[in-house]
Amino acid sequence: MHLRMNEWKHVFKLDPDKELTDEALESICLSGTDAVMVGGSTGVTFDNTVDLLARIRRYEVPCVLEVSNQEAIVPGFDLFMIPIVLNSKTPEWIVGQHHRAIKDYGAIMDWKQMITEGYIILNGDSTAAKLTQADAEIELKDVEAYARLAERLFHCPIVYLEYSGVFGKMEWVRKVRGLLTESRLFYGGGVDGPDKAREAAEAAHTVVVGNVIYENLEHALATVQAVRAAHQ
């Protein structure tokens, strides 16, 4: 499968630790989204990840795993996205987990399937920020520096501005996108319907929609068309 990650404009992020009916999953997979990403901050296990992958595989939509812990690495995804939390206060989430995983599996890993995401977590109240001890109290200049670091030093194909749970500062998102020439800017956080989806699509290259899938499926589905429209 040729994935063309660089053309993705809309991505749904599904949490293996949350319930989704078959009907809801079908509507997500057939929605016209560019990809389904599987990932979450807590409660992600091998079993619930493999189960969700098998259900998504009934459909043709590209399916990628955002690796959140070593135990939940399941083979069979189209791509594996590896977060590097640039503004974490601990090396654990920058190289620590990665080092351990590569120590165990490095010899058998298919490196062509790995894509690094330079994560910048900006909602300090989010589970992801707490888990990774991210320093979300930073200024635009810090964010810009992290984005340049991700692109220019680390050559991350993706820079990910993560506001998980709240809608972020689109002005910052736009500014960061303006700095990037190689990396793709993913934005995620608080996109709860078509209006926010349009705003986010005007600021970032790729909009990631998560929570609203579990709160209001209709609103979630409406974000696909809104993102498309913003690019026309």
Q: How many residues bind ligand 1GP (CB under 6 A)?
A: 13
Q: For strands 114-121 and 184-188, give the pairing.
A: unpaired
Contact region for ligand 1GP (CB under 6 A) — 49-57, 86-94, 110-118, 208-216? 208-216
**Gap between the Cα atoms of 210 and 116, Å rounded:** 20
- Quick one: 33 or 164, whose CB is closer to ligand 1GP? 164
- Contact positions with ligand 1GP (CB under 6 A) in 124-183: 162, 164-165
Strand partners, 159: 118, 185
- For residue 161, give both structure tokens: 């501005």
> What single letter denotes the amino acid at residue 202?
E
The residue at minimum Cβ distance from ligand 1GP is 188
- Contact positions with ligand 1GP (CB under 6 A) in 12-51: 13
What angle (nearest 5°) sits at the alpha carbon of residue 177, between those of residues 171 and 183?
155
- Quick one: 162 or 199, whose CB is closer to ligand 1GP? 162
Q: Is 118 in the site for ligand 1GP (CB under 6 A)?
A: no
Q: Is 189 in the site for ligand 1GP (CB under 6 A)?
A: yes
Contact region for ligand 1GP (CB under 6 A) — 73-81, 94-102, 148-156, 189-197? 189-197
**Gap between the Cα atoms of 131 and 138, Å rounded:** 18
Q: Closest distance between ligand 1GP and the C-beta of residue 163, in Å?
A: 7
Q: Please pick, from the candidates 209, 221, 224, 227, the single residue that binds ligand 1GP as defined by CB under 6 A.
A: 209
Q: Output DSSP code: residue 166.
A: S
Contacts of 217 (CB under 8 A, 6+ apart): 24, 27, 28
Of 175, 169, 160, the residue nearest 200 (C-alpha): 169
Q: Please pick, from the candidates 150, 191, 204, 224, the single residue that binds ligand 1GP as defined by CB under 6 A.
A: 191
Q: Is 210 in the site for ligand 1GP (CB under 6 A)?
A: yes
**Gap between the Cα atoms of 200 and 205, Å rounded:** 9
Contact 81, 96 (CB under 8 A): no
Q: Is 208 in the site for ligand 1GP (CB under 6 A)?
A: yes
Query: Which chain residues interact with ligand 1GP by CB under 6 A?
Result: 13, 162, 164-165, 188-191, 208-212
